[in-house]
């Protein structure tokens, strides 16, 4: 007969862990417990499961043979391994993975050993990434405060820029280490470039290249000497050619444009002979039309030769083809019409001050003078700096495309302040217009109603049903908990998890521990572990309505002004006797 010592030796060879367990069971129960599956850990590292318990004592009868323990299902990042047991074989159900790198991944499966093996799948985990988060998902709620990512990181405990730990995650508006260009007044965004910067905002102080022709000196340039220039043809630069392009020989923030030049600034001295521009381009070998390389940037919008004058390539014959307004307004002898793609002969100069009309059909400006007319070339428009009251992204102001509403100031892209003009209402958290834009003041948003505890923007945002926020979100199809999309505790929801498990089944505005409607004290002290009295409704922390249960009686909102017992009713500690 094979002794129990033989089987014990075999099991020791199979797994050292099996022999390392403490002996606690009677010999008749030998090997009935398999190892527990390992849990997934932070950043995807799983822990090893506990070893199965071994037995000692007299000779045991082995029913199922020396089975192996269950193997834990994979959690986030890597599988957890259960310790070997001595019972019947069993395999744990795999845990469903959470998003790799989040603090909590999926839980491992549960293994039951023995002849009849039962497995249970694990659960997934990880926080919900809010709309507007621009950085990598791995940076959200990963234990470090990430800034410049479009929306607040829950890891940031305050709004002080000293809180920022990582400022250059992939997707951040900032390319360098903290604080970089992070806006100290809004840690989710970067400080806009200074007024006058005409190139893309991300190129300013990008710590890579000296950008020139952008209206303002780039901090990446050691001086305003054109010799410092590394990029001269960024989008928005007055120069279109590689350095030096048309950059001014004395100052690299501007281009060297002669008086009377009517074409876009970047076309002068860009290596091509541009014609119909009011002044002979320095790239042209003569004033003849035969010297022209490009004819569609000035009075003509056609390929060469177009209507360019044969002997004077600075002008066109007849009404310029680039004139975008009605033909009858060109040189009508009455008014200087601006924003029409070419300088009207009725204008005394090319400057803004000469303009009489700026917003008629065909003009690039939707508002009357000055509108968005370029100060130095009234044939075109320019983007002015946003006013101090502007609360949206600076680049949305007067972008020439979209009437943005709810931004604290009227966008110059809006012909009027009527709500019907609004193209974008995103600033008020609305997916589409008019959303929450105030119809009587399109610069403002309609505030969330009193009692809404989550963020202003999440109320009626047009796409997410937020729950546990004190009031039912209009985005929810009903008041049932089953329609909830999100319950963000960091935005004010009363639920302690992202799955909305604590929301009342038939009232998704409240949670199982939400205060009743007649609760007059602060929401934060309801069911906080201490019995608060005199608040209009009984605190769940009070075992009864007796005054002897009271711990706090004079909190803000209580009917009692004195510490317990104060004026609390002896038999109903939610009320006072006076």
Q: What is the pLDDT of residues 436-446, one digit of tens each?
A: 889 899 999 88
- Cα–Cα distance, 259 to 215 (Å, whole number): 18
Threshold 0.75, pTM exceeds: no
Any domain includes 374: no
| Count of CB atoms situated within 10 Å of the CB of 543 | 9
Residue 122 in tokens: 């694990």
Any domain includes 333: no
On the question of pLDDT at 213 being above 50, the answer is yes
Residue 359 in tokens: 């917003």
Phi/psi for 354 (5° steps) reads -80, -15
Question: In the structure, what pLDDT confidence band is assigned to residue 12 with cuts at 50, 70 and 90?
Answer: very low
The residues near 348 (Cβ < 8 Å, ≥ 6 apart) are: 336, 354
Residue 456: asked if its preceding bond is cis (omega within 30°), the reply is no
Domain boundary among 446, 461, 481: 446
User: Are residues 303 and 312 in contact, defined by beta-carbon separation less than 8 angstroms?
Assistant: no
3-class state of residue 40 by DSSP? strand
How much is the pLDDT for 474?
86
How much is the pLDDT for 498?
66
Any domain includes 100: yes
Half-sphere exposure of residue 184, counting CA atoms within 13 Å on the CB side? 2
Helix (H) or strand (E) holding 13: helix 4-14
Residue 42 in tokens: 């932070």
- Cα–Cα distance, 465 to 378 (Å, whole number): 49
Give me the domain span that covers residue 440: 386-446
Any domain includes 379: no
Any domain includes 420: yes
Question: In the structure, what pLDDT confidence band is assigned to residue 435 with cuts at 50, 70 and 90?
Answer: confident
- Cα–Cα distance, 121 to 508 (Å, whole number): 28
- Residue 9 or 388, more confident: 388
Question: In the structure, what pLDDT confidence band is assigned to residue 139 with cuts at 50, 70 and 90?
Answer: very high
Q: How many domains does the chain have?
A: 2
Any domain includes 273: no
Domain boundary among 430, 446, 462: 446
- Cα–Cα distance, 453 to 224 (Å, whole number): 52
On the question of pLDDT at 76 being above 90, the answer is no
Instruction: Give alpha helix (H) positions in 223-324.
Output: none
How much is the pLDDT for 1?
44
CA torsion sign, 413 to 414 to 415 to 417?
negative
Residue 8: asked if its preceding bond is cis (omega within 30°), the reply is no
- Cα–Cα distance, 308 to 297 (Å, whole number): 11
The per-residue pLDDT for range 478-492, each reduced to its tens digit, is 999 889 888 877 777
3-class state of residue 328 by DSSP? helix
| Count of CB atoms situated within 10 Å of the CB of 2 | 9
pLDDT above 90 as % of the chain: 29
Report the Cα–Cα distance between both ends of the chain, in Å, rounded. Answer: 88
- Cα–Cα distance, 480 to 421 (Å, whole number): 36
Any domain includes 102: yes
How much is the pLDDT for 166?
94
| Count of CB atoms situated within 10 Å of the CB of 468 | 28
How much is the pLDDT for 553?
94
**182-183 vs 186-190, strand pairing mode:** antiparallel
Beta bridge partners of 576: 568
Residue 381 in tokens: 């428009």
DSSP 161: G
CA torsion sign, 552 to 555 to 558 to 564?
positive
Domain boundary among 446, 468, 487: 446
Question: In the structure, what pLDDT confidence band is assigned to residue 31 with cuts at 50, 70 and 90?
Answer: very low
The per-residue pLDDT for range 144-190, each reduced to its tens digit, is 999 999 999 999 988 889 999 999 998 888 888 898 889 998 999 99
Phi/psi for 20 (5° steps) reads -90, -10
The torsion angle over the Cα atoms of residues 294, 297, 302 and 307, rounded to 10 degrees, is -90
The per-residue pLDDT for range 389-415, each reduced to its tens digit, is 998 888 888 888 889 999 999 999 998
On the question of pLDDT at 258 being above 80, the answer is yes
How much is the pLDDT for 376?
85
Residue keyed to tokens 């209402």:
425
User: Are residues 351 and 382 in contact, defined by beta-carbon separation less than 8 angstroms?
Assistant: no
How much is the pLDDT for 496?
65
In angstroms, the Cα distances linking 385 to 134, 168, 391, 394, 538 are: 25, 26, 13, 8, 56
- Cα–Cα distance, 41 to 72 (Å, whole number): 13
């Amino acid at each position: 007969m094979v002794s129990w010592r033989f089987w014990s030796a075999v099991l020791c060879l199979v797994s050292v862990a099996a022999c390392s367990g403490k002996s606690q069971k009677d010999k008749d129960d030998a090997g009935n417990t398999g190892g527990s599956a390992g849990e997934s850990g932070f950043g995807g590292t799983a822990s090893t499961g506990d070893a199965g318990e071994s037995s000692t004592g007299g000779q045991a009868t082995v029913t199922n043979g020396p089975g192996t323990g269950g193997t834990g299902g994979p959690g986030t990042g890597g599988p957890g391994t259960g310790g070997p047991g001595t019972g019947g074989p069993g395999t744990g159900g795999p845990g469903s993975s959470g998003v790799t790198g989040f603090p909590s991944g999926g839980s491992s499966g549960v293994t039951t050993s023995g002849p009849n093996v039962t497995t249970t799948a694990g659960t997934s985990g990880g926080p919900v990434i809010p709309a507007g988060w621009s950085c990598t998902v791995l940076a959200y709620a990963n234990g470090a405060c990430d800034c410049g990512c479009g929306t607040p990181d829950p890891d940031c405990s305050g709004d002080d820029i000293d809180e920022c730990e990582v400022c250059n995650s992939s997707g951040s508006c900032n390319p360098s280490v903290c604080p970089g260009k992070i806006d100290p007044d809004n840690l989710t965004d970067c400080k806009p470039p200074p007024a006058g910067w005409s190139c893309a905002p991300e190129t300013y102080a990008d710590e890579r290249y000296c950008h020139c022709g952008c209206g303002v000196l780039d901090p990446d340039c050691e001086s305003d000497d054109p010799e410092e220039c590394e990029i001269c043809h960024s989008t928005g630069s007055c120069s279109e050619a590689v350095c030096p392009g048309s950059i001014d020989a004395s100052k690299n923030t501007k281009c060297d444009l002669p008086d009377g030049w009517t074409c876009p600034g970047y076309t002068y001295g860009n290596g091509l002979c541009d014609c119909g521009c009011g002044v002979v381009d320095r790239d042209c070998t003569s004033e003849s039309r035969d010297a022209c390389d490009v004819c569609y940037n000035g009075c003509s919008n056609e390929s060469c030769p177009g209507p360019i004058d044969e002997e004077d390539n600075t002008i066109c014959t007849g009404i310029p083809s680039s004139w975008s307004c009605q033909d009858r307004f060109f040189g009508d002898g009455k008014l200087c019409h601006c924003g029409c793609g070419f300088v009207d002969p009725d204008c005394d100069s090319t400057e803004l001050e000469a303009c009489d009309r700026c917003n008629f059909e065909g003009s690039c400006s939707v508002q009357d003078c000055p509108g968005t007319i370029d100060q130095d070339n009234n044939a075109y428009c320019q983007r002015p700096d946003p006013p101090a009251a502007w609360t949206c992204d600076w680049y949305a102001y007067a972008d020439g495309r979209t009437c943005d509403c709810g931004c604290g100031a009227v966008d110059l892209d809006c012909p009027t302040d009527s709500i019907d003009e609004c193209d974008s209402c995103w600033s008020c958290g609305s997916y589409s217009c008019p959303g929450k834009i105030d119809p009587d003041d399109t610069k403002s948003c309609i505030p969330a109603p009193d009692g809404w505890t989550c963020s202003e923007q999440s109320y009626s945002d047009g796409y997410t049903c937020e729950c546990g926020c004190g009031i039912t979100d209009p985005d929810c199809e009903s008041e049932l908990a089953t329609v909830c999309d999100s319950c963000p505790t960091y935005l004010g929801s009363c639920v302690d998890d992202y799955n909305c498990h604590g929301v009342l089944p038939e009232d998704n505005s409240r949670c199982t521990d939400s205060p009743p409607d007649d609760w007059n004290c602060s929401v934060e002290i309801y069911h906080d572990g201490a019995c608060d009295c005199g608040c209009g409704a009984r605190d769940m922390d009070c075992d009864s309505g007796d005054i002897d249960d009271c711990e706090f009686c004079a909190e803000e909102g209580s009917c009692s002004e004195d510490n317990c017992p104060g004026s609390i009713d002896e038999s109903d500690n939610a009320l006072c006797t006076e």
